[in-house]
Structure 1
Amino acid sequence: MQNSLTSRRKLPASEIVPVLKKGVAAQQAGDFTRAEFHYQTVLRDHPKYPDALNMMGTIALEAKKPAIASGYFRKALKQMPRNPIFLFNMGCAQLAEKKPQIAIETLRKVTLMQPEHAKSWVTLGQAEAALGKHAEALAAFDQAVTLRPDDMRLAVERAEVLVNLGQMQDAADIFRAAIRADVETSRAMIGLSMAHKFKPDDPEPALMTGLLDSDQLTAKIRRGLRYAAGKALADQKNYDAAFTQFVTAKDETGEKFAIDTHREAFAKRKEIFTAPFLEARSNLGSPSERPIFVVGMPRSGTTLTEQILASHPQIAGAGELSNIRMLAGDLGFGDIDRTRFGRSLEKLTEGQARKLASRYLAVLKRHSASAQRVVDKMPHNYELLGLIAILFPRAQIIHCQRDAMDTCVSCFTQHFSETHGYNADLRTLGQYYRAYDDLMAHWHTVLPGRILDSRYEDMIADQEAASRRLIAWTGLEWDDACLSFQNTERMVKTPSRWQVRQPIYKTSVKKWQNYAEHLGPLKQALGSLAE
């Protein structure tokens, strides 16, 4: 006789759909544990049932586990390879995995199969934008808007793409329409702050500060709105009130940054990358001259520099690429065992170095197949200039510099991601800047003649002379298009997206003085660099 404790009834095929419906109802109610129970009840006895696999993938996607989600969607598509719902969900997961090129291929299949599905066009636009394909991104969003012309939420999302494209007035008009309609109001106000320089009589800054009193805002939205309000108040020259918003945003987040641990990591970097160490590995990497690395502190002029370079007909701008850090991660950079990175570099062979370099060059090719040079303007690549020098001994490196006080204050007033934890308070920010300055001095010592320093203030004082110096450094002939960089149509997704659409202006020099009475901790931390 079978043990009743171990026996169970197999779920009959006739009950699969009702069980799945219970799972969907639970998921819609936010009870993901219960939903997963129902889906797994089906998969326990019918492990290849595509709808159950798909729904498990959607739970993983909502839990921000896109790699797991992709696995479920892949299994579902194996059973039904042309199911547009499964394909769309797979495209969403691929985009969440930061694989926009693959996501584009998947989502294009969906738009061909279901051209009336607006969300597919929206997600395709997001994937195109992630690759910097601004024309394609806008075309996808335009198609979505055609399908849902009255959807103000979609219009707001499209306006955010317009901001990145530099079409500020069109974007501002949409954001203001959303504010008037009270649709996505907080998001529209945040978008408007990026697209518009507020005048003294503009009503939106007061609306923003008023909205901050609402208890309906999520922590994330509240933080974004505080930065937007701070920027808007600063536009209106209400600097004390603006600074209060920035400080409150930091305090509400409660972020802390382990500056001592960070300085130890920089010291270890200097121990690894000595002049003899780099000289012994000077012939390992790729001979390619295609990459141009623009590095420096955020808000030091890296976006402006890239925009000037990318205005040259033989130079393409790829934006901020994370690939150098990813390659470093493969070698142990960021590992708990801090010795692994150095040990991997010590054993690095020519074949390994060329393979790593080829992977990076393939990324540049996706951004432009024809340009002689491609700019990677990830500011924090300054931390990895030793690795860059090994992988690309003939690549140009441009280091953007700006007045230390201006740089730090500009950072402090920006809504950076959590990866910029050093931006949490003025004292830590100043200490971080000193560590950055010290590491750059080291790179200049061990890589003599490899790095061009480009000062923001020199660019402001004489744009043509500074621009000619940049182009000469790349080895290309001068082109007058570099003087009209604000007219170059390309996706810009950094906080400087507004500035690079304007001609050179001098109001950003010594801008820190607007907040002078609040900056004691920063000045103290910077020491002589604040002078």
Structure 2
Amino acid sequence: CDEIIEFFSDDVFEKLQGVGDKNSDPIFVVGLPRSGSTLIEQILSSHSLVEGTTELQNIIALSRKIANKKNSNSKSEYPSALERMKKSEFKEMGSAYIKNTLDQRVTDKPYFIDKMPNNFIHIGLIHLILPNAKVIDARRNPMDCCFSCYKQLFGSGQGFTYSQNRIGNYYLDYLKIMEHWDKVLPNKVHRVIYENMVENTEEEIKKLLEYCQLDFEENCLSFYKTKRTVRTPSSEQVRQPIYKKGVGQWEYFNTWLDPLKETLRME
């Protein structure tokens, strides 16, 4: 987290401004798991111009590939290895992302969603290689989010969720790095607060579509009627009108969540 923040400074973005692929097809939905990202994807996928895909691995794979560009000391480093890359390579990486995700797109809709939540770490990289891509941060009350992750058995890739302390620290790191992106890339990220979406659904959907430069469509309000494959733990929830039961759910288990509360400094 600290290495990411230290590297992606104002100077880096100024130096590498506009070097990426200008394609505006991708809409990245990031954040922690269980924060409403599937709901956001379902809403956007209900729009006539947007296709939902899945949690694509491409950006994470790209970061690992960059890390393997070893320096003279034979150290694998990301993101510092970006310093040694030619400006033309950033456009090439953006173009490769667009090309390599084509097999995930089954319609001719102009925009598609990449819903890999862990991509919040890589917003700086995304901006450099795809400066016109949209980025949406799905955020939820920290206790509700962390508790929901803690009680969910994920298939793979979310090892931090098996300890209250680890998930609390991960959430704090997420807040820290998102605060940095807000500072160095102002107005780049549109934040959707889950609780606001639950209480003021139509208003929040209109804000979301405006950010994505999409006209409002009624289908986005009846997102639960959209037929598409959803491969996340929220698959059943997005098949019904806005799901309110998850708000404040952690309070029923308050007695057993002291380690999480202490880590999040909620006491």
Describe the SS at the equivalent of 1:397: strand
Describe the SS at the equivalent of 1:453: strand
1:341 aligns with 2:90: no
1:322 aligns with 2:60: no
> Quick one: which of 386, 395, 399 aligns to 2:137?
399
Partner of 1:288: 23
Shift of 1:339: 5.8
Q: Which runs of 5+ in 2 are unaligned?
A: none
Amino acid at match of 1:277: V
Amino acid at match of 2:114: D
Distance 2:145 2:96 in 1: 33
Contact 2:69–2:81 (8 Å) recurs in 1: no
Distance 1:482 1:468 in 2: 9
Distance 2:247 2:128 in 1: 36
Deviation by residue 1:384-403 (Cα, 9 ceiling, x = unmatched): 11100101111111001100
Partner of 1:526: 264
> Quick one: which of 220, 227, 230 aligns to 1:482?
220
Contact 1:284–1:349 (8 Å) recurs in 2: no
1:279 aligns with 2:17: no
Partner of 2:101: 364
Describe the SS at the equivalent of 1:523: helix
Partner of 1:379: 117
Amino acid at match of 1:416: F
Distance 2:50 2:69 in 1: 32
Distance 2:244 2:78 in 1: 43
Q: Aligned runs of 1:112-261 on 2, under 5 Å?
A: none
Shift of 1:493: 0.4
Distance 1:423 1:333 in 2: 27
Distance 1:456 1:363 in 2: 31
Deviation by residue 1:377-423 (Cα, 9 ceiling, x = unmatched): 10000011110010111111100110000000000010113421211
Distance 1:486 1:441 in 2: 32
Partner of 2:196: 458
Identity across matched positions, percent? 36
Q: 1:328 to 1:516 in 2, by over 3 A?
A: same
Amino acid at match of 1:346: E
Describe the SS at the equivalent of 2:138: strand
TM-score by length of 2: 0.94
Contact 1:318–1:364 (8 Å) recurs in 2: no
Shift of 1:432: 1.5
Describe the SS at the equivalent of 2:222: helix
Contact 1:311–1:481 (8 Å) recurs in 2: yes
> Quick one: which of 244, 249, 264 aligns to 1:506?
244
Amino acid at match of 1:317: G
Distance 1:305 1:489 in 2: 15
Distance 2:235 2:128 in 1: 32
Partner of 2:234: 496
Amino acid at match of 1:361: I
Shift of 1:302: 0.5
> Quick one: which of 336, 342, 354 aligns to 2:91?
354
Contact 2:38–2:238 (8 Å) recurs in 1: yes
Contact 1:368–1:374 (8 Å) recurs in 2: no
Distance 1:342 1:365 in 2: 26
Describe the SS at the equivalent of 2:29: strand
Distance 2:62 2:191 in 1: 25
Describe the SS at the equivalent of 1:427: helix
Describe the SS at the equivalent of 1:460: helix
Task: Say which structure is richer in strand.
Answer: 2
Deviation by residue 1:116-150 (Cα, 9 ceiling, x = unmatched): xxxxxxxxxxxxxxxxxxxxxxxxxxxxxxxxxxx
Distance 1:342 1:362 in 2: 23
Q: 1:333 to 1:467 in 2, by over 3 A?
A: farther
Describe the SS at the equivalent of 1:285: coil
Larger Rg: 1
> Quick one: which of 237, 253, 257 aligns to 1:515?
253
Amino acid at match of 1:282: Q
Partner of 2:44: 309
Partner of 2:169: 431
Describe the SS at the equivalent of 2:78: helix
Shift of 1:343: 4.0
Deviation by residue 1:84-134 (Cα, 9 ceiling, x = unmatched): xxxxxxxxxxxxxxxxxxxxxxxxxxxxxxxxxxxxxxxxxxxxxxxxxxx
Shift of 1:277: 0.7
Amino acid at match of 2:208: L
Name the count of aligned residue pairs.
Answer: 264
Distance 2:158 2:144 in 1: 17
Q: Aligned runs of 1:50-89 on 2, under 5 Å?
A: none
Distance 1:508 1:490 in 2: 23
Partner of 1:219: none
Distance 2:117 2:175 in 1: 13
Deviation by residue 1:333-387 (Cα, 9 ceiling, x = unmatched): 7989766323431122232112211221123332145212111010000011110
TM-score by length of 1: 0.48
Amino acid at match of 2:90: A
Distance 1:434 1:465 in 2: 28
Amino acid at match of 2:92: K
Which fold has the larger relative contact order, with Cα–Cα distance below 8 Å and residues 6 or more apart in sequence? 2
Distance 1:419 1:501 in 2: 25
Contact 2:69–2:77 (8 Å) recurs in 1: no
Q: 1:402 to 1:337 in 2, by over 3 A?
A: farther
